[in-house]
Amino acid sequence: MPGLSRPETQVIINRRAGAPQRGAAAGIELSALFAAHGVAAEFTVVSSTRAARAAATAASRRGVRMIVAVGGDGTVAAVAAALVGKPVVLGIVPRGTMNNLAYSLGIPTDPEGAVALIASGAVCAIDVGTIRSDADPRERYFLETAGVGITALAAPFGEAVNRGRWHRALGWLREIVRAHGTRMQVELDQGTPLFAETHLVTASNAPLVGPRAVVAPGAVLDDGLLDIALFPGMTKLALAGYFAAAVLGRQFPPPLIGRHRARHVVVHPARPRPATADLRLFPAAERWEIGILPRSLRVIAGSGPGLCRRAPDEKEAVPQ
């Protein structure tokens, strides 16, 4: 109808996230929950993370004040990428397999609890990681962890196992077996370069990655720093043991891992190496630049283990 204003909260539901049998009813269930909490919202259902980012971009341009991502970590990262540096607030209703970001941010995993938190308007400003290479200078965002080296093989292997795609998992396992470490030069905040013979260098913005693996126990999403791990001299078997222990919440001694903290990291492998950022794969390059955009994403959050602050930065007046 002419003159009828649209709601200022946009909810984007990835119907492929979570169990398929929940997908069809998600819109109806969430519509009732948002209405019960007095939040006027418009709903969009998508079938991919790419479509989720496109929907978030369109909603942001339309001038909405809040965009809620309903899905797993991939959906949340896709929607967040459209909101970096903008005043639009990101809300999250977890419906994925791992929901690492929701856990780190103290967001309830049940829809009722997540919507109640959104209605509270508790906003926190968090950091966003960036990665680019000499082969592709475009800046890409990540919220959890970026890695240079064997993680570009291990990440898709783990994803294939989680989804039961055994033929694809076997292919990635063969690549992991064939992989070799290399000498990497790592520059932290333009300081004196560090050198390590390693299979992997990681830069973490959040403590968790993949199957709730605590790969960076000291990382928080609102301190303006990346947690760097070099894994010097560790064999592939030792790395496998490390990540298996991380899934169980156990940690190796920091000197063995080679941990550091920095705002800006440049990694020069002696031989070109691929990279990942939040499980997205990037082709091999000779130089990788990883950085942080402090407090560049406004998100509804509780009191999670991935935050320094135990209280919201501000209260957003959620449109009724």
Specify the pLDDT at position 319.
Answer: 55
Specify the pLDDT at position 277.
Answer: 93
Give DSSP secondary structure letters for the chain.
Answer: -TTPPPPSEEEEEETTSS-HHHHHHHHHHHHHHHHHTT--EEEEEESSHHHHHHHHHHHHHHT-SEEEEEESHHHHHHHHHTTTTSSPEEEEEE-SSS-HHHHHTT--SSHHHHHHHHHHTEEEEEEEEEEEESS----EEESSEEEEETHHHHHHHHHHHHTT-HHHHHHHHHHHHH---EEEEEEETT-SPEEEEESEEEEESSSEETTTEES-TT--TTSS-EEEE--TT--HHHHHHHHHHHHTT----HHHHTEEEESEEEEEESS-EEEEETTEEEEEES-EEEEEEEEEEEEE--S-TT-S-SS-SEE-----
Mean pLDDT by 10 residues, the chain (320 residues): 62 81 68 93 93 97 96 95 97 92 95 95 96 95 94 68 74 73 94 92 91 85 96 84 74 73 97 91 95 97 86 60
Specify the pLDDT at position 162.
Answer: 65
Specify the pLDDT at position 221.
Answer: 97
Specify the pLDDT at position 70.
Answer: 96
Specify the pLDDT at position 239.
Answer: 80
